[in-house]
Structure 1
C-alpha cells in the first residue's frame, strides 16, 4: 500500500509547505473578495437615520482664547545715582519691602561735608539780605502817602464832575423836549420842514441822552454812599463817571450836528436856535474838561499804586547808602545759596538706595565693600501683583476690550483656575511673518503664591453673553440661497423626507447657535444625519452662518439624542 502523502491531497499539502508566501497571499485575496461580495450584497439594506435634538432655552457664551505668560505688574533693576563703596546691604532675595525702604547704603562722608559748607553759606546770605532790607518799611510808607494824596484828588474830581454834569444834562434835555423853549424841535415843525426822518433822528437823540442820564443817576446814587476809606468803590466811580462823561460828550455833539441840519433846512431860521447852539458848545467844552480831569485822576491813582507795589517788592532804601540794586543782589545771592543747600541735601539722599515701590526683592547681587556706580544693579524689585500677558491675532483682538471677564488656567498648576479682567489692549500690533498679533494685559482677581512670573498661561476671554434665549446645536443649522434653515422630522414614516423650516439666527459660538425666530422651545430638530449607504455611520458636514464647519456632534448637544428611520 502506498503512503497517503502521495495522493492528490498530499501533493497539495506539499505544494503549500514549499510555497508559504504565495499561499498566504492567495488566502488574503480569497477572504477580501468574499468580504467585498458580502458588503456589496448588503449595501442599501440599511436606511438613513437622523439624530434628533430639542430647541432649548439657555445662555449663550461667546469667547476667544489665547496663550501667554505671567509677568510681574512692575519689575525694576534698582541702581544707585552715585558712585562709592557699599557700607551696608539691608535686604536679601525674597524679602518683602515697602516703598522707601533702605536697600543699601553707600559711603556718604564727602556728601555730608559738602552739606555742612552749604548750610553755613545759606545762613550768611540770609543775614546779608536782612541788613539790606532795613529801611524798606519807610520807603513803602512814602509810597503809601502818595497813593493817599492821589485818592484825595480823585474824590475832589468826582465831586466837581458830578456838580458840573448834572445841570448840563438837565439843560440839554429841556432843549429837546420843551416846545416852548425850542419850538424848532416840535414834531410838527420837523415833519413839515424836513420829513419823518427828522422826527426819527430826534427820537434817537432823546433816547441816547436818556441813557446817559440813567447811568449818571445810578453813579450819583453810589457816590452818596461813598466814604474816603472805600478806595475800591472810588476806583469804580471814577472809571464809571469817566465813561458816562465820554458818552455825554458824544451825545451833545450829535445834537449839535442835528441843529446844524435844521439851520440849513428850515426857512426862516427858527427863533432861539442860534442861542441854544451857543449854549450847547459851552456845555460840550465843560464836559470835555471834566472828562480829562477824571482820566487824569484815574491815571494818578494807578501810577501811585504801581509805585507802592514797586517799593514794597524791591525793598528800596531811603538812607542814600544803598539802593534797590543792593536788595536785588542780596536776594539773588540768598537764592543761589538756598539752591546749593538743597542740591547738597539731594546729593546726600542719593547715597541711600531705597525701594521705589512696594514689592519683593528678586535678587540682590551686591555685598558690603563692593564699589558701585550708576550702572551697578543693587537689587531687582518686583511687585507682588502679577498680570497675564497674552497674544491675540487681529481677528480675535477686534472682539475684546478693557474690562471683559477672563478665565485663566496654568500648565504648571493643573488644578488652578483664576478669574480676571482685561486691563489694557495694545493699540499697535506686532507683525511676525506676515501675521499681526496684539498683546493683551490681564489682571488677576486672586493673587496665588503658586503663580510665578514666567509661567505659561491660557486665557479664555468672554466676549458676549446672552441669557434666556432659544438655542440649537450649530450642527443643526444649514444654509442655501434663501438663507438659514433647520430640518425637522416629517411624520413617523421611515421613508419620509425631513421638512425644512426657515429660521432667523443670531449669535453663535463653537457649539451652539441662537434662534431669533422660526422655532419654539421644545420643538424637535435634526442635529445630524447618519447615512445608510455604508454599514459605518457617517455624518454630513454643515456650515454655520459664520462659515465655521460643524457636525460630528460639534461639542455640547442641545436636547436628548434620538434617531428615526427604517
Structure 2
C-alpha cells in the first residue's frame, strides 16, 4: 500500500494552524468521490529568512539653518549641486556684526587700559601733586572758616548794637569835630572881608573842618542807630554763604585727601575685581561677535548634494524650515520592524538582501548596522527597529523608495520537507498534523516540526522521504 500525503485544496495557512476544504466531483445520483492532490515527501534544503519592509533613506542628511537674523547676502549653491564638507553654501549680511565687533574691540582696549592703570604704582610726581592738592584744600577750608567767623561776628555786632564806650567815642569824636569847625569858622570870619578870601588858608581850613564834622556826625548817627531788617537779612545771607563755602571747602579737602590716600595705599581689591570683570566682559563681547560672524555663514558639515535650497539674496532666513538641505546620496539605509519572535535570530553585521518595489529584478546586498534595544508596541504586537545599511550599488537609489529586506537566519541541508499548506497546527495544544491516505482513506497523522520558512517546514518525525 503506497502511503500518500494529501493536500485537500488548502485555501490558507494561518499562524498556529491551517484549514482544509475537500473538492468533490459532482455526480447526479452517486455520492461524489473526493478529488485528492497528493504530494510526495522528499528531502531538500531549507533556508529560513526574516523579511520586513521599509523605505530607503540616505544614511546622512543635514538640514542647515541660519542662527542670525540678518538678510541673506550670498547664495552659493542651487538644488542639485554637489557640495563638499566645510563648503560655504550661503552668507548673511555682516554689517551690524562688523560694527559690534569694532565697538567690542574699543571697549576691550579701554577696559584693559583702566586695569593696567590700576595695577601700575603711582609716580612720585603724582603723589607730590596729590599732597599739594591736600595742602591747597586745607588752606581753602581754613580761609572759609575765617570768613564764616567774620560774617558771624558782623551779624552779632549788628544785632547787639554799639557799646557804651563806642557811643562815648563817637560822641567825643563829634564834639572835637564841632570845636575844630567852630574855631575854623571864627578864623574865617576875621578875614571874610578880604578880597582874596578864597585864596586864604582860613577858607580851606573851614572847608575841611566842616567835612570832618559832617563825617563825625554821620558816624555818630550810624553808631547810635538801631539795625534795619534789610541789614539783618543781608548779614544772615552772608553767614549762610560762608557756611556753604566751608562745606564745599571741606568736601574738596576730603576728596583731595582720599585721592592721596588711594595713591599711597594702592588699588582696592574690589576695584581690581571690577576692572578685571570689565575686561572679561569686553572679551566675551568680542567672542560673541566672532561667533555671530561664524554663524553668518552656512557651512555644510558633510559632502553630498544640495537637495533643497530655500533662501534667496536679500531675503530673511526662513523660519520653520531649513535654509539648505544637504544629502549624502552615496550611502543609504532602511529601518524595518522585526517581530519579537524573530529578533533573537538577528545580530549586527548579519548579511541582508534588499529588493526594491520599483526594481524587483535587482537584489542589493547590505548588512544589519543597528538593532534597537527598545521595543515598539503597536496593536498588541511587539517589534524592534532594525537598521539595515545598503552596500554601494549601481542601482539608482532614491530617498523614499519602498524596499524589502530579507535576512537569512538558518540554512539546513538534506532534511525532510513538507509545504506549510499541507500542515495543520492545533492552536490549543500546538501539535501539528498532515493528512495521509491509508488504504484509500485520508488519515490525520501527527508530525513533529523543526525549522520552517514562509513556504516549507522541516519534518522531524511522522512521515518519511518517499511517502506520497
When the two structures are superposed, what TM-score results if normalisation uses the length of structure 2? 0.52
CA gap of 1:357–1:457, structure 2 versus 1, over 3 A, is same
Equivalence map 1:325-474=2 (5 Å): 325-372=270-317, 375=320, 377-384=322-329, 385-391=331-337, 402-422=348-368, 423-425=370-372, 427-429=374-376, 431=378, 439-448=385-394, 450-462=396-408, 464-468=409-413, 470-474=415-419
Q: Do the aligned partners of 2:417 and 2:456 also contact (CA within 8 Å) in 1?
A: yes
| Pairs aligned (count) | 298
Cα deviation, 1:106-152, whole Å, max 9, x if unaligned, reads 111111121122123223434444554568xxxxxxxxxxxxxxxxx
1:123 alignment counterpart: 109
The two structures, once aligned, show a CA RMSD in angstroms of 4.3
The equivalent position to 2:64 in structure 1, one of 70, 73, 78, is 78
1:101 alignment counterpart: 87
Query: The residue matched to 2:374 in structure 1 has which SS?
Result: coil
Cα deviation, 1:302-328, whole Å, max 9, x if unaligned, reads xxxxxxxxxxxxxxx997322433433
Equivalence map 1:144-163=2 (5 Å): none
2:43 alignment counterpart: 55
Query: The residue matched to 1:112 in structure 2 has which SS?
Result: helix
The equivalent position to 2:450 in structure 1, one of 506, 509, 519, is 506
Provide the rounded CA distance (Å) in 2 between the counterparts of 1:325 and 1:460.
73
Query: CA shift at 1:50, angstroms?
Result: 5.3
Provide the rounded CA distance (Å) in 2 between the counterparts of 1:415 and 1:55.
29
Provide the rounded CA distance (Å) in 2 between the counterparts of 1:445 and 1:461.
15
Unaligned residue ranges in structure 2 (runs of 5+):
1-25, 122-261
CA gap of 1:117–1:421, structure 2 versus 1, over 3 A, is same
Q: Do the aligned partners of 2:41 and 2:416 also contact (CA within 8 Å) in 1?
A: no
Equivalence map 1:21-420=2 (5 Å): 36=27, 40=30, 51-56=39-44, 58=45, 60-133=46-119, 320-372=265-317, 375=320, 377-384=322-329, 385-391=331-337, 402-420=348-366
CA gap of 1:344–1:318, structure 2 versus 1, over 3 A, is same
Query: The residue matched to 1:412 in structure 2 has which SS?
Result: coil
Provide the rounded CA distance (Å) in 1 between the counterparts of 2:391 and 2:430.
47
Provide the rounded CA distance (Å) in 1 between the counterparts of 2:71 and 2:54.
42
Cα deviation, 1:76-123, whole Å, max 9, x if unaligned, reads 442212223322110011112223321111111111121122123223
Query: CA shift at 1:426, angstroms?
Result: 7.6
Q: Do the aligned partners of 2:447 and 2:462 also contact (CA within 8 Å) in 1?
A: yes
Provide the rounded CA distance (Å) in 2 between the counterparts of 1:482 and 1:454.
41
Answer 1 or 2: which has greater helix percent.
1
Provide the rounded CA distance (Å) in 2 between the counterparts of 1:334 and 1:429.
54
CA gap of 1:514–1:53, structure 2 versus 1, over 3 A, is closer
Query: The residue matched to 1:344 in structure 2 has which SS?
Result: helix
Q: Do the aligned partners of 1:401 and 1:425 also contact (CA within 8 Å) in 2?
A: no
2:126 alignment counterpart: none
Provide the rounded CA distance (Å) in 1 between the counterparts of 2:99 and 2:32.
107
Unaligned residue ranges in structure 1 (runs of 5+):
1-34, 136-316, 529-566
Cα deviation, 1:379-405, whole Å, max 9, x if unaligned, reads 222232322234556666676565443
Provide the rounded CA distance (Å) in 2 between the counterparts of 1:36 and 1:456.
51
Cα deviation, 1:54-93, whole Å, max 9, x if unaligned, reads 335x4x3322322232222344442212223322110011
CA gap of 1:133–1:504, structure 2 versus 1, over 3 A, is farther
Query: CA shift at 1:345, angstroms?
Result: 0.6
Provide the rounded CA distance (Å) in 2 between the counterparts of 1:455 and 1:465.
28
Does residue 524 in structure 1 map to residue 460 in structure 2? no
When the two structures are superposed, what TM-score results if normalisation uses the length of structure 1? 0.44
Query: CA shift at 1:458, angstroms?
Result: 1.9
Query: CA shift at 1:435, angstroms?
Result: 6.6
